[in-house]
Amino acid sequence: MSPRLAEGGLVGPSRRSFFKAIAAGGAGLALNDVVDPRRVRAAAAGTKLKDAREVRTACNFCSCGCGIICHVKGGELVHLDGDPDHVINQGALCSKGAAMQATHSASWRVQKPLYRAPGGDGWQAISWDEAFDKIAAKIKATRDATWIATDKVGDKEYKANRTDAIAFLGGAQNTNEECYLYAKMARLFGTAYVEHQARL
Ligand code: SF4
């Protein structure tokens, strides 16, 4: 695309300097040199993004955890872009991430916890509070039933205070702060099994 065709998004290079930048450093570097995200945003002010609120999030598809800027208007996602300030993707998105808006507004998207009762033949929607209560009760019951207070090595008995029946699985979308809290919670529950989605 010629720099002149993308008015507002480019830092006014001549056609010659645009191609010179590409030849010098490869397409990725060249675009960094000539595209100014601030000007791109300014140009968006008169478009569908006018008055839209920016919300930063992470792509939910794979373990790369690319950063996304969502543009929200009246509670609806109207547009999304790769986050140019994100350390992982630096503004880029693959085809799945770029198409994430479709999953947001899909009519078949599951938006409530679904519960299948023992012996039941179908799923029923329950509230988040109900789901949290059920999960907490199951964790407590499992922990109590499988608690290992001590381990015996030879003739000696050592304190163990753990359960081998509970594991924690983190995801690439979790922030450092969330992971810190998850790890603490896992230790409090007494499990040593803490894994990450990206290693599976
Ligand atoms: S944008 Fe693509 S590479 Fe990045 S997290 Fe999403 S699916 Fe993975």
For residue 149, what are the domain limits? Answer: 131-199
Please tell me the distance from the alpha carbon of residue 22 to that of residue 3, in angstroms, as a whole number. Answer: 12
Query: Can you tell me which atom of ligand 1 is nearest the CA of 97?
Result: 1
Using an 8 Å Cβ cutoff, are 161 and 149 in contact?
Answer: yes
Q: 101-127, pLDDT tens digit by residue?
A: 888 888 888 889 999 999 999 999 999
Q: 21-31, pLDDT tens digit by residue?
A: 555 554 444 45
Within a domain: residue 166? yes
**Structure-model confidence comparison of residues 40 and 123, the more confident one:** 123
100 lines ligand 1 (CB under 6 A): no
Within a domain: residue 99? no
Within a domain: residue 16? yes
Within a domain: residue 139? yes
Cα(82) to centroid(ligand 1), Å: 10
Q: 80-93, pLDDT tens digit by residue?
A: 999 999 999 999 99
Cα(38) to centroid(ligand 1), Å: 24
- With bands split at pLDDT 50, 70 and 90, how would you rate the model's confidence at 143? very high
In angstroms, what CA-CA distances link 89 with 29, 44, 84, 93? 14, 21, 7, 7
80 lines ligand 1 (CB under 6 A): no
Within a domain: residue 40? yes
- CB contact burial 72-86 (16+ within 10 A = b; e otherwise): eeeeebeebbbbbeb
Query: In sequence order, what DSSP letters do the residues of 115-166 get, joined into one string?
Result: E--TT-SS-EE--HHHHHHHHHHHHHHHHHHHEEEEEEETTEEEEEEEESS-
Residue 1 DSSP class? -
Number of domains comprising the chain: 2
Cα(69) to centroid(ligand 1), Å: 13
pLDDT (mean) for 181-197: 91
Task: Report the pLDDT value the prediction gives residue 45, as an integer from 0 to 100.
Answer: 65
Atom 2 (ligand 1) nearest CA: 94
Within a domain: residue 96? no
